[in-house]
């Protein structure tokens, strides 16, 4: 509003002049601020995808994880295998324990599979541990105990796919290789609006093409860790922190308000259910355990024998045992990726167990998590 000026020409009055000048200056300042904001926004978009990701990593990325300290190809390899299907916070204590027991490739290669599985017990997906052990023996025998440093040789090792091999070499040697783990798939699918069923060849082809295009020529190790961190900390499956993301301004899913639609989801399936009876056979000093076949669920681990109700007596007879007492425990349910297993545990007390393990010996064995749970409160 223009101030009222009495008794003089309002156009030449000092108060009016000051008002007009002040208003002009405010307008100029406002325009300047708007210009700076727009310029900053344009400059932000002019930065490449990788530049913004790297700038974010410099401030917020994880740089103090155990395997990042004095990093070696061996440490990175073990950590990357452990991190498949498993969260960082879960992996850390297992990694530290594993490294104390197997500090280098030769120690791992020369160890028994039982020893390796015992130090893996609880992490699940035990084929990872068996492949890790097998790969260490190949490296010992074919590479003089030195982890290979080219992508073809690394990918050829058991249990190491294209993305894992790329991560190992990028993180440790700063080699330029694109990665595509679950976190990176989520970031790229949302940012680039990549449609398609997860893990279908056509979808993977599109995701790999984008990953290759966006991977920078330099600072590949930092970029690789940054992308994994971005997916793990910011671009999470549910409730992503979009406004904290360095690339949200041109993220297709964010701008289209369809974040939850990417990556496209697999149709939900009802998990089949299975039932089994596990026998906890003990003479209160030892417990009877059997080693499972190397292939299949819990391959190579020690476990409780599984029988159907009608064959318990026959099973005990085959072991030369007679039952003194039977005590059923509450049913325990364990969920695998593809089915649910309902376990009916039965404590079978016998007079004398000729073969079995004492409690101190059991602690040195690789046991499936459900078996650990079932015998944890057993006194023997």
Report the range of poorest mean pLDDT among 6-10, 136-140, 291-295: 6-10
pLDDT for res 38: 47
Please indicate whether residue 215 or residue 358 has the higher confidence score (pLDDT): 215
Q: Cα separations (Å) of 351 from 282, 321, 358?
A: 9, 8, 15
pLDDT for res 93: 97
Question: Region 27-48: what's the mean pLDDT?
Answer: 51
pLDDT tens digits, residue range 281-296? 999 899 999 999 888 8
Mean per-residue pLDDT of the chain:
88
| Beta strands per DSSP E along the chain | 273-282, 290-291, 302-303, 306-307, 323-328, 332-335, 340-350
Choosing from 4, 80, 273, 323, the catalytic residue is 80
Number of helices (H) and strands (E) in the chain: give both, helices first: 16, 7
pLDDT for res 352: 86
Active site residue 80: yes
Residue written as token pair 């002049």: 17
pLDDT for res 320: 87
């Amino acid at each position: 509003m223009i101030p009222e000026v009495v008794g003089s020409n309002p156009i030449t009055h000092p108060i009016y002049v000051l008002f007009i000048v002040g208003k002009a200056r405010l307008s100029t300042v406002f325009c300047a601020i708007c210009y700076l904001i727009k310029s900053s926004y344009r400059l932000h978009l002019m930065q490449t995808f990788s530049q913004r990701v790297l700038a974010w990593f410099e401030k917020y990325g994880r740089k103090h994880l155990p395997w990042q300290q004095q990093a070696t190809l061996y440490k990175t390899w073990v950590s990357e295998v452990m991190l498949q299907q498993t969260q960082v916070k879960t992996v850390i204590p297992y990694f530290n324990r594993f490294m104390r027991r197997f500090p280098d490739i030769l120690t791992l290669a020369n160890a028994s599979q039982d020893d390796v599985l015992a130090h893996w017990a609880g992490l699940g997906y035990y084929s990872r541990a068996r492949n890790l052990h097998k790969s260490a023996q190949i490296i010992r025998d074919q590479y003089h105990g030195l982890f290979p440093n080219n992508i073809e040789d690394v990918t050829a090792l058991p249990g190491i796919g294209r993305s894992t091999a790329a991560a190992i070499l990028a993180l440790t040697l700063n080699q330029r290789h694109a990665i595509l783990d679950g976190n990176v798939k989520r970031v790229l699918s949302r940012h680039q609006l990549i449609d398609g069923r997860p893990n279908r060849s056509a979808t993977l082809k599109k995701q790999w093409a984008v990953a290759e295009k966006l991977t920078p020529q330099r600072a590949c190790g930092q970029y690789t860790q940054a992308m994994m961190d971005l997916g793990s900390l910011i671009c999470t499956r549910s409730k992503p922190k979009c406004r904290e993301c360095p690339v949200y301004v041109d993220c297709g899913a964010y701008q289209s308000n369809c974040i939850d639609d990417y990556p496209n989801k697999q149709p939900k399936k009802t998990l089949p259910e299975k039932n089994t009876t596990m026998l906890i056979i003990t003479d209160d000093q030892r417990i009877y355990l059997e080693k499972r076949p190397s292939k299949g669920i819990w391959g190579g681990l020690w476990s409780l024998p599984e029988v159907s109700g009608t064959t318990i007596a026959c099973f005990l007879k085959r072991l030369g045992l007679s039952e003194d007492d039977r005590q059923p425990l509450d049913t325990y349910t364990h969920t695998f990726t593809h089915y649910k297993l309902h376990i009916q545990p039965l404590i079978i007390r016998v007079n004398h167990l000729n073969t079995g393990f004492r409690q101190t010996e059991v602690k040195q064995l690789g046991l499936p998590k459900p078996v650990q749970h079932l015998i944890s409160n057993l006194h023997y």
